[in-house]
Amino acid sequence: MQNHNDTRLLVIGGGPAGHSAATVAATIGAQVTVIEDKVIGGAAHLWDCIPSKAMVASSMRISAIRNAGRLGIDEVGPVHLDMGVLSDHLHSISSKIESSMVDLLDSQGVEMIRGRGRLTGLNTAVAETDDGDIEIEFDKVLLSTGSRPWVPDWATTDERIFTTREVYSLPELPEHVVVVGSGVTGVEMVHIFSSLGSKVTLLVSRHHVLPHRDAEVAMVLEDSFLERGVALLKGSRASGVERTSGGVVVHTEDGRSIEASHCLLAVGSAPNSENLGLETAGIETSRGYIPVNEYNVTNVAHIYAAGDVCGELPLSSVATMQGRKIARHLLGHDVAPLDYRKVAQAIFTEPEIASVGLEEVHAASEGRKVRITKVPLAANPRALIQGNAHGFVKVISDPATRIVLGGTVVGHHASELIAPIALAVTAHLRVDALLETLMVHPSLVESIAEAAE
Ligand SMILES: Cc1cc2nc3c(=O)[nH]c(=O)nc-3n(C[C@H](O)[C@H](O)[C@H](O)COP(=O)(O)OP(=O)(O)OC[C@H]3O[C@@H](n4cnc5c(N)ncnc54)[C@H](O)[C@@H]3O)c2cc1C
Q: Contact 340/312 with Cβ under 8 angstroms? A: yes
Q: What is the pLDDT of residues 350-370, one digit of tens each?
A: 999 999 999 888 888 888 899
Model confidence pLDDT, tens digit, residues 413-444: 999 999 999 999 999 999 999 999 999 999 99
Q: What is the 3-state secondary structure (H, E, C) of 159-228?
A: CCEECHHHHCCCCCCCCEEEEECCCHHHHHHHHHHHHHCCEEEEEECCCCCCCCCCHHHHHHHHHHHHHC
Longest dimension (CA), the chain: 68
Burial class (CB in 10 A: 0-12, 13-18, 19+), 374: middle
The residue nearest atom 21 of ligand 1, judged by CA position, is 44
Q: What is the pLDDT of residues 247-285, one digit of tens each?
A: 999 999 999 999 999 999 999 999 999 999 999 999 999
- What confidence tens digit (pLDDT) does each residue in 282-322 have? 999 999 999 999 999 999 999 999 999 999 999 999 999 99
Q: 118-127, 146-155, 202-211: which range is least confident on average? A: 202-211
Instruction: Give CA–CA dist 163/448, Å, rounded.
Output: 37
**Of ligand 1's atoms, which has the minimum distance to the CA of residue 49?**
5
- pLDDT value at residue 82: 86
pLDDT tens-digit readout, 318-351: 999 999 999 999 999 999 999 999 999 999 999 9
Determine the atom of ligand 1 nearest the C-alpha atom of 42. Answer: 49
Q: How confident is the model at residue 69 (pLDDT cuts 50, 70, 90)?
A: confident
Between 5-9, 172-176, 186-190, the lowest mean confidence (pLDDT) is in 5-9
* Candidate of 10, 118, 151, 272 to mutate for ligand 1, largest count of ligand atoms within 8 Å of Cβ: 272
Across the range 123-129, mean pLDDT stands at 98
- Percent of the chain beyond pLDDT 70? 98
Measured by CA distance, the residue closest to atom 8 of ligand 1 is: 49
CB atoms within 10 A of CB 217: 26
